[in-house]
Amino acid sequence: MTQRIIIADDHPLFRTALSHAVGKVWPDATVIEASSAAAARTEVEMGAEALLLDLHMDDSQGLSALMDFRQDFPALPVVIVSASEEQRIYTAAQQLGAAAFIPKSASLDAMRDALAAVRAGDSWFPEPLAEVDDDLARIASLTPAQRRILGQLQSGLLNKQIAYELDISEATVKAHITAIFRKLGVVSRTQAVLLATKLDADQPAADAGASGSPAPA
């Protein structure tokens, strides 16, 4: 069966750079490019050897998309590719199940090294894993529906607004929020939202355009 590598990034030039790196590691693979998390999901459902996932796309901000893919495709190696280069982001991505984290400032040689490690069944991160964050473990215990509602809480929506957006009853929203509070060990929306910010990955200004992408080798 032909190997398929999915690259999900909304910058065409950077997808090209990643494609060149993938080609060095998986020379016989078919590279599929996607500009959104939704498009990447469609491709992954048809089979994939690995997914290279940008943290910042129109329908995906932060580490929530990583959690969704890891939950729905647990055997799929997910390589995070991002301009967010804080150690807390590396650590969170590793703790949430990423196989590797490639900073967008990395050289093509470093990209190839990271992808080669993933192909060999290993992991690759710019820095060693820092202390495990128990809050992330609690967030990871949420169901997809609970994570969606937590995202709506972050947006400041009221229960009735969340119910309308998700097409569920207000009673169901309240039940989910109660479960969210219990799993996160909090007693208020404010506390839940503060914990949820650990999934955020601030987008540096350099990530606003593709001009900083490495040139294909």
User: pLDDT band at 214, cuts 50/70/90?
Assistant: very low
135-194 pLDDT, tens digit each? 998 998 999 899 999 989 999 999 999 999 999 999 999 999 999 999 999 999 999 999
Look at residue 1 in the predicted model and tell me its pLDDT. Answer: 62
We report the CATH number of the domain holding residue 118 as: 3.40.50.2300
**Same domain membership, residue 43 and residue 125:** yes
Instruction: Specify if 107 maps to a domain.
Output: yes
Percentage of the chain beyond pLDDT 70 is 92
Look at residue 213 in the predicted model and tell me its pLDDT. Answer: 42
We report the CATH number of the domain holding residue 191 as: 1.10.10.10
Q: If you average pLDDT over every residue of the chain, what do you get?
A: 89
Residue at which a domain ends, from 131, 162, 187: 131
| 209 has a pLDDT exceeding 70 | no
**Same domain membership, residue 9 and residue 48:** yes
Residue 59 domain boundaries: 4-131
Cβ neighbours, 10 Å, residue 43: 18
Domain count for the chain: 2
What is the pTM assigned to this prediction?
0.79
User: pLDDT band at 2, cuts 50/70/90?
Assistant: confident
Are 104 and 207 a contacting pair, CB within 8 Å? yes
Instruction: Specify if 158 maps to a domain.
Output: yes
Instruction: Specify if 207 maps to a domain.
Output: no
User: pLDDT band at 202, cuts 50/70/90?
Assistant: low
| 99 has a pLDDT exceeding 50 | yes
User: pLDDT band at 128, cuts 50/70/90?
Assistant: confident
26-78 pLDDT, tens digit each? 999 999 999 999 999 999 999 999 999 998 898 887 898 999 999 899 999 99
